[in-house]
Amino acid sequence: MMNNENLKHISIKDYLAGQGIFPTKEHVDYGMYKSPFRDETTASFKVDYRKNLWHDFGTGEGGSIIDLVIKMQQCDFMVATQFLQKQINQNIETYQYPYISTNGGISVNNSLSVTAVQPLENPKLSAFLQSRKINMETAKAFCREIHYQIGGRNYFAIGFPNDADGYELRNPQFKDCIPPKEITTFDRQTPTVHLFEGFINYLSLLTLQAKQADVSAVVLNSIANLDKAIPFLSKHEKINAFLDNDEAGKQALDKLQSRNFLIVDISKRYAEYKDVNDYLCGKKMTKNQTKITKSKGIRM
């Protein structure tokens, strides 16, 4: 097992590529990226390839790959190091996850192959969803169980498909993706569309109110994908924004409002919670995180 200092040598560039994030400008020693934490037109996120460090000029934050994983995965130090150790144990970098076709095609990557795309049944994955209080029938309707193999070892995860035949992957140990990274849309020909950052929050709303499955929806699968969702959002008369109660969610909301969309900020209705799933689980934010507005619950 590698110690934490050695984990810091894992390439930040490769990790970002695994998230579907690539530099807009690249030089020999560094690359400039659009920040993965907000929407922007000019790249302000620098990755120093030689030092293997990142710096976000928009916020002044920066650090090692461990710091980046903590911020992007929204986890603590221990979970971040466990995630990176898992990548080492598998002897494969994050960016090597394969492309999966809608018919469950086999990866062309020699290091990793998809062995099955099947209905969601694994007890460990079911237990994870139940720990998040997600209705299992709802999860089975929208997600698949992805089995893949690396070096003769078998792995599995919850797979949420996107519009480009990629998958968002979740299991109790990690969250990642099988590229390409893309939004997921559900066009139900309704005047209103629901907007979410991640699929766990979408499934949380449907657990709370099953009838909302009849309403058009878009899951960004990353706040950085907001621009990709604009054409789909613009087809609707009203947007119900179920975004996170954090700075990235606020910036995304501001960006949509600047386009003069008719938007209902649903996050105000769960203001004491970070997101819809935390509301479902009854997990309130700390006093330092909580907005002044008090939650009155989610009502549509």
272 and 194 part of one domain: yes
136 and 152 part of one domain: yes
State the pLDDT at residue 300.
Answer: 57
**Residue scoring higher pLDDT (39 or 106):** 39
State the pLDDT at residue 18.
Answer: 67
Domain boundary among 36, 69, 89: 89
CATH number at residue 40: 3.90.580.10
**pLDDT tens per residue, range 159-210:** 999 999 888 888 876 677 777 889 999 999 999 999 999 999 999 999 999 9
Whole domain around residue 57: which residue ranges?
Answer: 4-89
pTM: 0.63
Look at residue 111 and tell me if it is in a domain: yes
Domain boundary among 145, 178, 211: 178
Question: Which residues have a Cβ under 8 Å from the Cβ of 188 and sit 6 or more positions away?
Answer: 214, 215, 216, 217
Question: In total, how many domains does the chain have?
Answer: 3
CATH number at residue 217: 3.40.1360.10
85 and 30 part of one domain: yes
Look at residue 233 and tell me if it is in a domain: yes
- Percent of the chain at pLDDT above 90? 50
**pLDDT tens per residue, range 232-271:** 999 999 999 999 999 889 999 999 999 999 999 999 999 9
**pLDDT tens per residue, range 123-133:** 989 999 999 99
Domain boundary among 56, 89, 122: 89
State the pLDDT at residue 299.
Answer: 59
